[in-house]
Amino acid sequence: MTDHKEYIPTGIKEFKGTALVTKTMTDLQGYITAGDLFKLLDLTAHACARRYCGQTVQTVQVDPLEFKVRVKAGDRLTLLATVNITGETSMEIGLKVINKPEGTDIEQTVVTGFFHLVALDSTGRPVKVLPLKPATESEEQRLELARLRKQLRKEYAMKMTELNRLMSY
C-alpha cells in the first residue's frame, strides 16, 4: 500500500521557490547538470500543481527545453511556476528559472518550459481538477497561449506518427 497524503486544493495558480546550486549538482567544470536542473523544474511543477488541485500529481509530458544560461555552483536560482490551463484531470504548468550569479545584481533567464501533469487519487487513477478561471489579463493570455501550444502538440504528434510509419526497423 502506498503512503498517500491528503492535500487541500487551494486554487492558487502560482508557485515560487529558490534553490542554491551546490557542487553535488555540477559537472567537472562546476556548472549545473541538465539532469539536476530538470529535477528542480519537475519538483517546482509538482509543487505548483499539487497546491492548486489538492491531489498527488504525476508528470506525463514535458515540452522541449532549451537551457540558455550556464549556472555555476554557488548561484541562487529562483523557480517560478504557473498553472496555465487545466483539462479534466490534467494541467499545463509554465516554468521559468532565473539565475542571479553570486556577487552580481544581474538576473538571467536560464530556461522556460511547460510540464504537463495529471492529478491522481490514492489508488493512482486520474481524478478531476479544479477548472482554471483566469482572473487577470495576464492569466487570460497564458490560457490562450496554452490552447495554441496544445493544438501544436496535436499537430506535431500526428506528423511524427506519419513519419514513424515510414520507418523500417
pLDDT over threshold 70, residue 102: yes
Mean pLDDT of the chain: 93
Q: At which residue does the C-alpha cell 521557490 appear?
A: 17
Q: Quick one: CA dihedral 36, 11, 82, 125, positive or negative?
A: positive
* pLDDT tens per residue across span 58-90: 999 999 999 999 999 999 999 999 999 999 999
pLDDT at 155: 95
Backbone conformation region of residue 103, classed left if phi is above 0, alpha if psi is from -120 to 50, else beta: left
* pLDDT tens per residue across span 1-49: 445 556 677 889 999 999 999 999 999 999 999 999 999 999 999 999 9
pLDDT at 1: 43
* 54 and 18 Cβ atoms separated by less than 8 Å: no
- Region 99-105: mean pLDDT is 87
User: Which strand (E) or helix (H) includes residue 53?
Assistant: helix 34-53
- Region 120-143: mean pLDDT is 94
pLDDT at 105: 87
pLDDT over threshold 90, residue 127: yes
The domain locations on the chain are 14-132
Beta-carbon count within 10 A of 3 CB = 5
pTM exceeds 0.95? no
CA atoms of 110 and 79, how far apart (whole Å): 10
Q: Which fold has domain 14-132?
A: Thiol Ester Dehydrase; Chain A (3.10.129)
pLDDT over threshold 60, residue 92: yes
CA atoms of 2 and 132, how far apart (whole Å): 29
CA atoms of 11 and 130, how far apart (whole Å): 7
CA atoms of 92 and 74, how far apart (whole Å): 31
Beta-carbon count within 10 A of 131 CB = 10
Q: Binning pLDDT at 50, 70 and 90, where does residue 167 land?
A: confident
